[in-house]
Structure 1
Amino acid sequence: MKTRHGTFPTQLATLVGNSNAIANIRNEIETLADSHASVLITGPSGSGKDVVAQLLHQRSRRAAHPFVALNCAAVAPDLLESEMFGHEAGAFTGALKARAGRFEAAHGGTLFLDEVGDMPLAMQAKLLRALETRVVERVGSMLPIAVDVRLCAATSINLFAAIDRGAFRSDLLYRLDVIRLVMPALADRPEDIPLLVAHFTAQLPGPAVTFDDDALALLMAQPWPGNVRELKNFVERAQAHHPGGRIDADRATRLLHRDSPTTPRRTTPPPPPPPLPSMLPAGNIDLKTILSSMEQAYIVEALQASGGAIAASAKRLGLQRTTLIEKMRRLHIPPHGQA
């Protein structure tokens, strides 16, 4: 169920698969569910990090309290503080009444911050303070509000590389990375694909589509860059095109390539385009001189066409005015483009 504060699951999340990687994550979830320690869930986009966060909540003593989710990449930076900590009436334009933030909404339960690596640096400092003090302040208020939340964060980027780029705070990473769970890419657990396909088809309304063994073998051999999310979309596409039908390897191939089921497949590849003729003359060339001459010719023509107007010439050439002036100085071009 969606609310203004996030996602409150109405049914138990399911981590589908029998691979060793998924079995290990299930064991970790059962072991760590009742811990108060923050959890950082990493893995590629679409691999199911949100499912792990929901399971950690649902298996814990906090399960009777809210599970509140916030995608840090989906909220405008200037609204993120209000979304996370809430605001008082009149705190900013459009704040007509007071509103609790995600921390308050998750009191007693779990707060899940998805794509935390995309959080602006200024907001990272405020999140760090909230995690250290377990106190938040609404925007426009100085009244401290104590909160009791278990924080789960997820990211699909390398936070250590982000720290090296100056895009993520190292002290916040160490606060989040108390416990780490790593979701594998779907391509690293192909044995789970038949179970996932069966799980997704069972969730779809209407006559269920089925997949034969050859189709499943084909799916298990795919790279799935979008991971579980991409596989789910593929199953939904198969159901839409073939409701109640049976998917063989041929149909699966066409669906993977997003062809219409009625579009015939090309049996032979198109002929390669003819090679372009070489533009290089015989012998050696001075590329720097050639490029400078071409640049000078274009600038002179633009200046002459505009009557020496620098701004108009720069606009026509797709340059900043100051950039054009610098090029004119370097190439010794007079203001009107005349020799």
Structure 2
Amino acid sequence: LLRFLEERTYERVGEDSSREASVRLLAATNVDLEERVAAGSFRQDLFYRLDVARVELPPLRDRLEDLPLLVEHFLASLGRPEVGLSEAALSELRLRPWPGNVRQLRNAIEDALIQLGGGLELGPEHFTLRDHERSAQLDHGFEGAVCREVLAIPSDASELFYELRGRLEQTLVEVALERTGGNQVAAARLLGMNRASFRRKMKEFDAPEGERSPEQG
């Protein structure tokens, strides 16, 4: 393999002469090969022969704007291009962490089509949230942040209600800013707050300023 990658030549079984191959080799992985090389579990010479041009594809949870196009593609590939996706269903899909990436999305759509039967629009009720997906969701977004804060409070803490409320409010502000890329107006809208109230909470918790949208001035 190393010689083939280096010289683009090979020999057939039983032949003495070499043949040239005009091919383009693509290799994919979901692990950090540089770490594996450093740990001695992946051959360094093979790594450097493969490491010519890299294309890094972020996980689905980091490119949720692709969801509508991916859903449309999978509906067509599954033979149901006439089926649409409701806004409520799209919002539900955006809340999921998708640890299985695009394959998991395809399976979810196929399962939803079975639930839909002969209907023409997928709603949130057609997307089943399995136990392992529910656990993954608790590690992601608002739900996970809230659970982690609740578990972090000592059971013998005095004024538990006020301690819990303060922590949750701060966590929600921080997560909203993170989810909206620091846009204060979008973060306030996400939490159902007006801009002035959200700004007061930011100052109260000393949250990073982030960026302001044009309408903030």
Which bin holds the TM-score, normalised by the shorter protein?
A: 0.5 to 0.7
Larger radius of gyration: 1
Q: Does 1:180 align with 2:28?
A: no
Partner residue in 2 for 1:229: 103
Partner residue in 2 for 1:210: 84
Partner residue in 2 for 1:275: none
Partner residue in 2 for 1:156: 30
Q: 1:193 aligns with which of 59, 63, 67?
A: 67
What is the distance in 2 between the residues matched to 1:133 and 1:177? Answer: 15
What is the distance in 2 between the residues matched to 1:139 and 1:166? Answer: 32
Quickly say closer, same or farther: Cα 1:139–1:152, change in 2 above 3 A.
Answer: same
Quickly say closer, same or farther: Cα 1:155–1:218, change in 2 above 3 A.
Answer: same
8 Å CA contact 1:209–1:243 kept in 2: the answer is no
Higher relative contact order (CA 8 A, sep 6+): 1
Alpha-carbon offset, residue 208 of structure 1: 4.1
Runs of 5+ unmatched residues, structure 1:
1-126, 259-339
Q: Does 1:250 align with 2:146?
A: no
Quickly say closer, same or farther: Cα 1:139–1:159, change in 2 above 3 A.
Answer: farther
Runs of 5+ unmatched residues, structure 2:
132-217
- Mapping of residues 294-313 of structure 1, within 5 Å: none
The residue identity in structure 1 corresponding to 2:123 is D
8 Å CA contact 1:209–1:244 kept in 2: the answer is no
Alpha-carbon offset, residue 145 of structure 1: 1.5
More helix by share: 2
Alpha-carbon offset, residue 139 of structure 1: 3.8
The residue identity in structure 2 corresponding to 1:250 is E
Indicate the RMSD between aligned Cα atoms, in angstroms.
2.0
- Mapping of residues 81-230 of structure 1, within 5 Å: 127-205=1-79, 208-230=82-104
Query: Which SS does the other structure have where 2:93 is aligned?
Result: helix
Q: Percent identity?
A: 47
Quickly say closer, same or farther: Cα 1:157–1:134, change in 2 above 3 A.
Answer: same
What is the distance in 1 between the residues matched to 2:92 and 2:80? Answer: 25
What is the distance in 1 between the residues matched to 2:43 and 2:96? Answer: 37
Partner residue in 1 for 2:194: none
1:182-216 alpha-carbon deviations (Å, 9 max, x no partner): 01100000111122112211222257443210110
More strand by share: 1
Structure 1 stretches of 4+ with a deviation exceeding 3 A read: 139-142, 206-209
